[in-house]
Copies of this chain bind each other. A is one copy, B any other.
């Protein structure tokens, strides 16, 4: 049942952007649709030159395209690397064998190594529909993956993409299990570690649901959209980099899975661990320090949860020959003062420049994490890492290294906060009792972060501080009055993110 000549169609470009979805548009009266029995939503193989992709069929019942033509979504054009006027052929797609492994998991059968390899390989080849990926993500969600399944998944994800080789015995890395606004230690840790003579090829993500990803913050100071070759060059020259991981596609299958997880707003501990550690392994890292902030409105809400994550992370690390160290930190309130790309970058620079008003909490965390990395690399005796890190920071070596890395990535610029500023004032006097990270993050997003890099929230009321009535609790930064009113509407509709108690 392979394709024949009646399955050949000429490409039209309609300019339809479906994000990453592969869509093919064919006429209902085309000989392909009739002879193959294709109807709307059939999934088909589309062949062009030596490439094939799977696409979902939308049927055209009008004269939008001519007889003998087919159109593709922009994503499908990109994946096939095809142009208008080229010839494609369209054939039936066979059922995906590996999906029976997902079905077996639904019935409570554990994944074995071969099953996970099959599934990840097929997802990587683009055989899975979004629906099938949603089902896979769901059977892996919550605590439905046992340790051995997480290990199989991590290994399968590592083997689905390229792996960097730095040809040195020690490659350091760090990661933060996110969810805490302003916790931007990476641009402080990378220069400290690199200044100590170690290799730290750090890649970071952009925001998906938060007001700023680390890559967004760094981008307000230096370009982050580097190719693999550029990353290799920067790291060979400076020992470290601060790049966006998305362009590098070190774990391509992970990006696909994460996009469905985000659409469903599903968390899966097993999936997250496999995602983080497979990316680190693909980046060639041998030693990874992981920050887990714990707090009522952080991603990890209890110490017990953090301990379990630590156990999984260390055990999976062991199975793939990676040393994993975990630091459980305070996640009860934002770190530093800025929430939003440029505002967080200003905190980072204040620490690196040893300014007297630099946020002490951000400095303290960065030094702790960097110290742990130095100890694991043997660059400081055990128990002396933080001291060494502090010394590198306060001596100005970290700032010099930071500028050098920025220079290697394409140059440094000062981050620019948004022009419109609006103070949110305390309506009574009192001591700050609790802070809702999620609400502050939402206000920063409504104010325009991260799309508007200067927008966000400047937080001024940490837990335990005494504030007087009329004193600002935080300041909203926006580029437009419209965004300010979005943020204020939400602020007034919900419980206040900063809770005061009378003294």
Contacts and interface: CB of A to CB of B under 8 A. Distances in A.
A502 interface: no
A80 interface: no
Interface string A35-72: 10101110000000000000000111111100000000
Nearest to A446: B1
Contacts of A99: 264-265
Interface of A: 1, 13-21, 23, 25, 28, 35, 37, 39-41, 58-64, 73-74, 95, 99, 103, 106-108, 129-132, 134-135, 137-139, 141-144, 260, 263-266, 451, 482, 486, 489
B40 A17 contact: yes
A28 B15 CA distance: 10
A87 B386 CA distance: 63
Nearest to A485: B1
Contacts of A143: 107-108
Contacts of A139: 138
Nearest to A105: B142
Contact of A106 (B59, B60, B142): B142
A40 B18 contact: yes
A62 B13 contact: yes
B142 A134 contact: no
14 contacts: A13-B62, A16-B25, A16-B64, A18-B58, A18-B59, A19-B39, A20-B41, A37-B451, A61-B74, A129-B263, A131-B134, A132-B134, A132-B264, A134-B134
Chain copies in the assembled complex:
2
Contact of A141 (B21, B106, B142): B106
Given A40-B18, A142-B108, A131 B62 contact: no
Contacts of A130: 130-131
A21 B56 CA distance: 12
7 A-B pairs with the lowest CB-CB distances in the bound complex, closest first? A15-B62, A107-B142, A19-B40, A19-B41, A134-B134, A138-B138, A17-B59
A23 B16 CA distance: 12
Given A35-B482, A135-B135, 18 more contacts: A1-B489, A14-B62, A15-B62, A16-B60, A17-B28, A18-B58, A19-B40, A61-B74, A95-B265, A99-B265, A103-B141, A103-B265, A106-B138, A106-B142, A107-B143, A134-B134, A134-B135, A138-B138
Contacts of A266: 103, 106, 135
Given A61-B74, A489-B1, A264 B131 contact: yes
Contact of A135 (B60, B74, B138, B144): B138
Given A18-B41, A482-B35, A135 B264 contact: yes
Contacts of A62: 13-16
A260 B130 CA distance: 11
